[in-house]
Amino acid sequence: MTETPARTQIADQAAYAEAVRTAVEAAAAYYGEGDSPLDDDAYDRLVRGIAAYEAANPGHVLPDSPTGKVAGGAVIGDVPHAVPMLSLDNVFSAEGLENWAAGLERRIGRPVAVWCVEPKLDGLAISARYRDGRLVRLVTRGDGAAGEDVSHGISLITGLPARLAEPVTVELRGEVLMTRAQFENANAARTGAGHPAFANPRSAAAGSLRTLYRDYEVEMTFFAYGALPLEGTDPGLAARLGELPHSQIMGLIAEWGAHTTADTPVPGVTCTELAEVHQQVERIAGARATLEFGIDGIVIKADLAADQADAGTSSRAPRWAVAYKLPAVEKITRLVGVEWNVGRTGIIAPRAVLEPVVVDGSTITYATLHNAGDIARRDLKIGDHVTVYKAGDVIPRVEAPVAHLRTGEETEIPVPDACPRCGGGIDDSQKRWRCAKGRACHAIASVRYAVGRDQLDIEGLGENRIDQLVAAGMITDFADLFTLDRDRLLELERMGEVSTDNLLYAIAIAKTRPLSRVFCALGVRGTGRSMSRRIARHFATMDAIRAADAEAFQQVEGIGPEKAPVLVAEIAELGPLIDKLVAAGVNMTEPGATGPAAAAPPEDDGQEDGGRAEGGPLAGMSVVVTGSMSGPLAELTRNQVNELIERAGGRASSSVSSKTSLVVAGEKAGSKRAKAEGLGIEIVTPEEFAERVADHL
């Protein structure tokens, strides 16, 4: 199938002229202060539409058209580049990459010997000029021929040393960006100083780097993607830079002390076959959601200097490199409303209602807003154009308003002065507001959670049945389930003798569940199924959990000094409910656990073992499960698979790192599998894993 990336449809010459004007203005804003009125995807679609119209109507082409120009023709700065800083041509599919590679090999008259594959960082392209190893000038790409001097921003950038490890005269080229943490910190500092929030990390980096004076601090990060000789460069070094493969030049840059992609989870790699290139493209694309910085594609280059020289360049881009563009994870849309929802623990959470927008293949209508303070800090208003961000499985979130698109018709977001569910008071002493009634405000939600499959797993207690029991006044919390009266149940609509006896039997079984499931059913803030297992296996009994202070909780893997006091307070608040469970005869011990006094010492990685089984086929191993399970594991929930791992002596983990021993990868494994491949971690199928732990299934 022929590659056909989406583009804006342009009907006539007037629409074409308007599209050119819009694109040129957007490019000037994007490569200037970074505050384009169009998101990247909308701009790319517009330029592709302009190019398609020009191809069909060559007599209508305007001289200021952005097609075929670096930075879309935007003229930013007057510091000339000795060698033009070019853009990259794009492909959008595996087929497009195959066609581009075939064209390159026809151009040079031979197969490309070595390919280099690197992430395409979503930042601001800059040139860093060093004299005798000292950083003396920083220049933006601008229009490719000349850029803007931003040397005043040198001190803000990590990964770009003031002095290189060797006294060389050289020009490093790379991207300046903000990591997610740097972006959050920059926005907090900026809004704290009374300025509007940045719309996204790229505009934050572009705007911050160009600002001469500011009353707040920001930090950015540099990653190099190339090196060139300057006037005065040692002839021997100049010759090396002209002869070495790109991959070796990147190694040289790293030796000098500047950051490269080798300092990231997605380092650049070399391949000798195009099939390997496709695999590396999938690896980097799969890891996108886990990265601390934005990427909008993957760059594929001919690695050898001879191949690059024979391929040459066009007026806009090198012919020996291409960008494999990925679907956008960031779009601009309009905030049309805010909903205030009350969760099962009484937390009052705002949710943005958006004009529907397609982000990374899915239509987004709602996004998280965190809390009332976050809304105020970001200065969000109803009617704002907002930047919506989504990566992988991360819940979409509103980054910030696009302040320069405001019309004056935007309105303040109404903030509730009473609980939106029960009308009671609000506890606003913490960042996340909470109904003063706590869990009692939304008892139905708490019961629904407690009886779920990964908690008490009470069959026959669906949402309608729970609503019926609450409405009849038979339960106010899930502890009341264990004292239900058979005769009263029989009085309820659609509750015959068989269904009543089945329900009471299921509730009786739930009484015997291990402590880990009972604790999970309590819905303690900051815990889930895995954390509940670790807590139950560490303390062994509910009495020990209730007696533990913050210091004791910090002995449990994954609980730090911030979370521990919250757990202590939550468990104290749940005291009456726990007392009711104890009185009803619900199990309060964890089978096989012996408590803190007999707990095993930490592993070498400094993490508590959580009371998992001694020995077993997974002894000492950290195991990550990802994708859809099949074979003997098909009917198990993810939590049940994690329990299986621990019964077999291993430790279940949710993220892949250098400490991961094994990854069980099912269908659609995605970024975790890709990261494991990059780290050389053993990967097995669900069937192979089931065979390995067969004695513990």
The rounded distance, in Å, linking the Cα atoms of 484 and 533 is: 28
511 is catalytic: no
State the average pLDDT over residues 245-251.
95
Q: What is the pLDDT of residue 36?
A: 65
pLDDT band at 379 (very low <50, low <70, confident <90, very high): confident
CATH 3.30.470.30 fits 80-325, yes or no: yes
* Residue 246: band (very low, low, confident or very high) from pLDDT cuts 50, 70, 90: very high
Longest dimension (CA), the chain: 96
In the set 120, 301, 390, 672, the catalytic residue is 120
pLDDT of residue 403: 76
Q: What is residue 603's predicted lDDT score, i.e. its pLDDT?
A: 40
* DSSP bridge partners of 380: none
Give the pLDDT confidence of 440-468 residue by residue, as tens digits: 788 788 899 999 888 999 988 888 899 89
Give the per-residue pLDDT at 1: 39
- Residue 323 contacts by C-beta under 8 Å, 6 or more apart in sequence? 88, 89, 90, 91, 120, 297, 298, 299
- Residues forming beta bridges with residue 375, ordered by sequence position: none
Type of residue at 179 = T
The pTM score is 0.62
- Segment 489-522, tens digit of pLDDT: 999 988 999 999 999 999 999 999 999 999 999 9
Please determine, for residue 537, whether its predicted confidence score (pLDDT) is greater than 80: yes
Is pLDDT at 120 greater than 90 in this prediction? yes
Report the DSSP pairing between strands 157-158 and 220-228: parallel
pLDDT digits (tens, 9 = 90+) for 322-360: 999 988 778 889 999 999 988 888 889 899 999 998 876
Buried b (16+ CB within 10 A) or exposed e, 406-442: eeeebeebeeeeebebeeeebbbeeebbbbbbbbebb
- Other beta carbons within 10 Å of 257: 15
Task: Indicate whether 175 pLDDT > 90.
Answer: yes
- pLDDT-based confidence at 3, cuts 50/70/90? low
- The span from the CA of 69 to the CA of 65, in Å, is 8
Q: How confident is the model at residue 75 (pLDDT cuts 50, 70, 90)?
A: low
Please check whether residue 461 is in contact with residue 506, taking contact to mean a CB–CB distance below 8 angstroms.
Answer: yes
CA 231 to chain centre: 42
The yes-or-no verdict on residue 390 having pLDDT over 80 is no
Q: What is the pLDDT of residue 481?
A: 95
Write the DSSP assignment of 84-113 as a string of letters: -----EEE-SHHHHHHHHHHHHHHHTS--S
What digits encode the pLDDT tens for the residues 278-324? 999 998 988 887 888 989 899 999 999 999 999 999 888 999 999 99
| Topology of the domain covering 330-415 | OB fold (Dihydrolipoamide Acetyltransferase, E2P) (2.40.50)
- Euclidean distance between CA atoms 246 and 311, whole angstroms: 14
Give me Rg for the CA atoms of the chain: 29
Q: What amino acid occupies position 367? A: A
Q: Which has the closest alpha carbon to 77: 127, 40, 131?
A: 127
Which fold would CATH assign to domain 13-74? Helix Hairpins (1.10.287)
CB 289 within 8 Å of CB 326:
no
Task: Give the pLDDT score at 476.
Answer: 87
Name the one residue in this structure whose structure tokens are 């507001």.
433
CA angle, 633 as apex, 447 and 586 as ends, to 5°? 30
CATH of 438-510, one of 1.20.1250.20, 3.40.50.2300, 1.10.150.20, 3.40.50.880: 1.10.150.20
For the chain, what are the domain ranges?
A: 13-74, 80-325, 330-415, 438-510, 612-697
**Based on the number of CB atoms within 10 Å of its own CB, is 33 exposed (0-12), middle (13-18) or buried (19 or more)?**
middle
Contacts of residue 675, Cβ cutoff 8 Å, sequence gap at least 6: 265, 283, 286, 287, 290, 656
Residue 683: strand pairing partners: 663
User: How much is the average pLDDT of 533-547?
Assistant: 92
Q: Tens of pLDDT along 13-65?
A: 888 888 888 887 777 666 555 566 666 677 777 888 888 888 888 888 887 78
Name the CATH topology of 612-697.
Rossmann fold (3.40.50)
Tens of pLDDT, residue by residue over 402-430, are 877 888 899 999 999 999 988 889 988 87
Q: What is the mean pLDDT of the chain?
A: 86
Region 582-598: what's the mean pLDDT?
83
